[in-house]
Amino acid sequence: MVFCIISSYLPSVLNFRGKLLEAIHAQGFEIHILSPDLEQFAAEHKQLENFGYYVHAIPMQRTGTNPIADLKTLWAMRAIITKIKPDYVLAYTIKPVIYGTLAAWLAKVPQRFALITGLGYAFQNVEAEGGRSIFQKLVHGLYRQALVRSSKAFFQNPDDLALFKQLNLITQATPAVVVNGSGVNVSDFNVVPLPLDNTHQIRISFLLIARLLGDKGVREFAAAAAIIKQSNPEVEFNLVGWIDENPAAISQHELDHWVADKTINYWGKLSDVRPAIAESSIYVLPSYREGTPRTVLEAMAMGRAIITTDAPGCRETVVDGENGYLVPVKSVESLVEAMRKFIDDPELAEKMGQRSREIALTKYDVHEVNKHMMTEMGLI
């Protein structure tokens, strides 16, 4: 039996689907991976091949809407899929879901699954404003065509599923299942003590890990940092991530300004985020919308309190007042208020961090999430 996964970014196969593929491979499946830009990710490519997987290069522009380029992607994927003859195909993120699912359908793959890991730019402001741009209507139409040809669609939070139904992008003809994100391997993210200051008291430091996009709440994080620094200059604000090719990306000038003003400690892009989490006492993600944010789950597994938004995907990770606080999207004032609770009572960070670990263990363990998905796909 052959299982094929389609991704737009090879490192995410290891980071987000690695344990899933490992479990499927253990069931005796031959694993094939389709992804672009293999030459840029030689280490990941080699690691996946060392696991016994087959990795295939596909032409794909991660961003942009060039119809000729996207058709080239579709036909290239169809050719590879026709050759390897998979019994199951799983595609995730926007272009793999759209073009990968259509390619699998054209290649007559019996079981085709779509995993909606987040909505991103194509769904920005759709709920708030009601109207849709021409670009959004185009993308949504393509989603509809792909999902009607899917055997089943997985969503990482109930809000995304509800929006897809509201926009008529998924119908009753396609079964839909909500899973608890991508999960987190809790054994890889052990609880570590909170950082201490020179007097051996809990040192309050806030951390955000994200692609540096406006809709991740990076600007709100920096604005809140600037306000708090006026009265509490000792409080640290740490940022991990990188500027992505995306219409919503922050500018290099903005980032340089925050660093020069000593508002933000910028640690760049890290291959291992655990040291950053260990050096921080509270994790913050002021995102406008997520599937289920993996960085939040990792911070929870390491025993960190969470401040995140009362937004789809984010709100599922926090029981407000138990393992952290939920704040309104784009509200710098509310973000500052939540941060001040930890500054005024540092013991909250320890108490809420313990609760975060409990939630990570019971709800987000990667092995349980993967077992759920494999059962729904008929692999076990």
User: Is residue 75 scored above 60 in pLDDT?
Assistant: yes
Q: Are 325 and 338 in contact (CB under 8 A)?
A: yes
> What is the 8-class DSSP label of residue 38?
G
> What is the 8-class DSSP label of residue 288?
S
* Cβ neighbours of residue 153 closer than 8 Å, sequence gap 6 or more: 113, 114, 115, 116, 147, 164, 170, 174, 175, 176, 177
Q: Are 212 and 242 in contact (CB under 8 A)?
A: yes
pLDDT tens digits for range 347-363: 999 999 999 999 999 99
List of domains in the chain: 2-183+365-377 (3.40.50.2000), 205-363 (3.40.50.2000)
Tell which wins on pLDDT, 66 or 238.
Answer: 238
> How far is 161 from 302, CA to CA, in rounded Å?
29
> How far is 69 from 377, CA to CA, in rounded Å?
31
pLDDT tens digits for range 131-155: 778 888 888 999 999 999 999 999 9
Q: Concatenated DSSP letters for 175-219? A: -EEE--TT-B-TTTS---PPPB-TTSSBPPEEEEES-SBGGGTHH
> How far is 96 from 74, CA to CA, in rounded Å?
9
> How far is 8 from 79, CA to CA, in rounded Å?
17
pLDDT tens digits for range 95-132: 999 999 999 999 999 999 999 998 877 787 776 556 77
pTM here is: 0.89
